[in-house]
Amino acid sequence: MNAIKDQATPKNTQLLLSIVLHAIEQVNFAIRNLNKRSTIGMLMQCEDTLTDLLPIVKMIADDDVNFEGVYSQMSIALSAAQIGGEPMEIEL
């Protein structure tokens, strides 16, 4: 019997949730550091973290609409960091 490739199993769903939660945790850590101490180094760390994790969250959001809000928040946070604003922490 062949398994259906795109079948949404509870294990796959849990894995996607774990990946997104880890991405949120990492981004929020970088955002908190930037907002606490706004230096060039912290800005670079925040931008790097967001640009590294944004494509991963985008792929997941394309597959599962429940994560589109997280992708949107991360995009807004990246834009805020790039224009010298104060990015907001990401919420699920």
Asked if residue 4 belongs to a domain, the reply is no
Asked if residue 38 belongs to a domain, the reply is yes
Asked if residue 89 belongs to a domain, the reply is no
Give the chain's domain count: 1
pTM of the model: 0.85
Which pLDDT band, with edges at 50, 70 and 90, does 1 fall under? very low
Asked if residue 10 belongs to a domain, the reply is no
Question: For residue 8, with 0-12 CB atoms within 10 Å meaning exposed, 13-18 middle and 19 or more buried, which class applies?
Answer: exposed
DSSP 83: T
Which pLDDT band, with edges at 50, 70 and 90, does 11 fall under? confident
In the prediction, which pLDDT does 8 show? 63
Asked if residue 3 belongs to a domain, the reply is no
